[in-house]
Structure 1
Amino acid sequence: MHNLSKNARIAGFVYLLLILIAPLRLVYIPGKLFVSGDAAATIAGIAAHEQLFRLGIFADLVTGAVSLVLTFTLYRLFKDVNKTWALLMLMMGFMDTPLYFFNSLTDMATLILVQAPTYLAAFDQAQRTGLATLFLKMHNLMTFASEIFWGLWLFPLAALVYRSGFLPRFLAVWLTINGVAYLALSGAGLLRPEYNELVANLAFPCQLGEVAFALWILTMGAKPRQPAALRGAATTAA
């Protein structure tokens, strides 16, 4: 029981670390540096805050690495609940890492274009701005594509939580809703971008399922439920 709770707290710590790091490039940097509808101002913002943009690249790489550790720690926590579902969760969750690493390449290309090195002298400023914007758009679309896996891996995780017997089932329900929210965000971003903002506003409270799950296992650990027969005996004895 002690090891189970310890493993849950380790997984919770790693999950919370992921939740804290990932928004840097996903939310903070776009809000700080990017100007909607103005490519030149966006590129100028990146050039003026190059170190912050570099930090975003580093944060994405760290997020990919931490995500890999997270899937392993959760697999170790749930493998005895149902190995098939745990392996499915592991495979779906693993996809997060290569997607983050691939998406970092688009930001690296953007950074090079913003720096305007001499070997790109054949491209004028307008061309470099256009290419940098292209890579930023690719990064944004790749994020929407990644949300498919951000959502899918939560379904086997939710099933494991529900069947575990050592975590409350309301977390499983919230994780399932969280998974549906990610799929909705991905669908809107790839198919109907005009609804991005509406879907994002509706999805936000649903996305707190991961936060609730991470905080619960970090602070509460894992507590196996007492069999009904033992609970009845305890009640009778009392």
Structure 2
Amino acid sequence: MTPLKKTARIAGLWYLSFSLGPFYLIYVPSKTIVQNNAAATAASVIAHETLFRLGMLAETVGAVTFIALSLALYRLFEHVGRHRARQLVALVLVSSALSLASVLFNAAALLVFRRDGGVVFDTPMREAMGMLLTRIHGQASGVNEMFWGLWLLPFGSLVVSSRFLPRWLGYWLLLDGVAWVAMSVAWFLVPQYNDALFKYLQPVFLVELVAMLWLLIIGAKENRPIVAATK
């Protein structure tokens, strides 16, 4: 196995961590959070406490492995465009930091729901406070959608320039980045359309699964010259 292909496959292995995303972003909230019902949410979180904790763990692991992925991609693309590779890492660091900070809100919500840590509020106030904390966690994900898109722009550009990965994959990644940025803008301005937009853009979002599988299974081809760049 060539060094370039090995580096690409290592990046693909780190990319596998993205499979945790649907678990903590979709599955866990669907089982624990009851929209606009603080009492039901409190009861659900306590009833599914282990699942709720697993969601926090998965989100933490996902943020850490996202950083590892960015470093692996930097190593893969540093000779293609070092400046763009650094931009990719910087944007991932911001996104991961935001994810890790948002986990604290779910951790605090669990303390409130369990009446741990000296929480002395009456039941309605405690349930409302816990619900607010879980909603702040959800709002942080809406903000983070901006960075989920922005990091894909240098990534897609590097794939296009690399010559050792297919250009169509790079253009698809660029489109995916624009889609996530659009999702974030919609979350800020017209949140009532966010769910509908997410469903409409599903085919675009599939590119990260394709990129992960390509890096993991096929790797990178070294029979084509790499375009050296500094941008």
User: Could you say which TM-score interval applies, normalised by the shorter chain?
Assistant: over 0.9
The aligned counterpart of 1:210 is 208
Distance across 1 between alignment mates of 2:77 and 2:112? 45
Identity score, percent? 38
1:179 partner amino acid? G
102-111 or 179-188, larger mean C-alpha shift: 179-188
Secondary structure of the structure 2 residue equivalent to 1:44:
helix
The aligned counterpart of 1:9 is 9
The 8 Å contact of residues 164 and 224 in structure 2, kept in 1 or not, is answered as no
Q: Structure 1 residues 191 and 2 mapped into 2: Cα distance closer, same or farther (>3 Å)?
A: same
The aligned counterpart of 1:91 is 90
The aligned counterpart of 1:48 is 47
The aligned counterpart of 2:159 is 161
Secondary structure of the structure 2 residue equivalent to 1:95:
helix
Secondary structure of the structure 2 residue equivalent to 1:114:
helix
The aligned counterpart of 2:229 is none
User: CA offset at residue 4 of structure 1?
Assistant: 0.1
The aligned counterpart of 1:126 is 124
Question: Which of these residues, 217, 221, 228, is aligned with residue 223 of structure 1?
Answer: 221
1:182-197 equivalences in 2 (<5 Å)? 182-197=180-195
Distance across 2 between alignment mates of 1:187 and 1:146? 11
Q: Please list the CA deviations of residues 107-141 of structure 1 after superposition, one character each: whole Å capped at 9, or x if unmatched.
A: 011000110137222x0010011111111111111
Q: Please list the CA deviations of residues 184-230 of structure 1 after superposition, one character each: whole Å capped at 9, or x if unmatched.
A: 22122222111011111112211111111111011001003546xxx
State whether structure 2 residue 34 is matched by structure 1 residue 35.
Answer: yes
Q: Please list the CA deviations of residues 35-94 of structure 1 after superposition, one character each: whole Å capped at 9, or x if unmatched.
A: 223221111110101111011111111111101101000000000111111111111122
Secondary structure of the structure 1 residue equivalent to 2:43:
helix
Ranges in structure 2 where 5+ consecutive residues have no aligned partner:
226-231
Distance across 2 between alignment mates of 1:99 and 1:162? 29
The aligned counterpart of 2:99 is 100
Secondary structure of the structure 1 residue equivalent to 2:203:
coil
Secondary structure of the structure 1 residue equivalent to 2:204:
coil
Secondary structure of the structure 2 residue equivalent to 1:9:
helix
Note the aligned Cα RMSD (angstroms): 1.4
- TM-score, normalization: structure 1? 0.91
The 8 Å contact of residues 89 and 156 in structure 1, kept in 2 or not, is answered as yes
1:74 partner amino acid? L
Distance across 1 between alignment mates of 2:163 and 2:199? 33
The aligned counterpart of 1:111 is 110
Distance across 1 between alignment mates of 2:109 and 2:162? 45
Distance across 2 between alignment mates of 1:11 and 1:21? 16
Distance across 2 between alignment mates of 1:206 and 1:39? 35
The aligned counterpart of 2:228 is none
The 8 Å contact of residues 99 and 140 in structure 2, kept in 1 or not, is answered as no
The 8 Å contact of residues 11 and 215 in structure 2, kept in 1 or not, is answered as yes
Distance across 2 between alignment mates of 1:191 and 1:39? 25
Ranges in structure 1 where 5+ consecutive residues have no aligned partner:
228-238
The aligned counterpart of 1:57 is 56
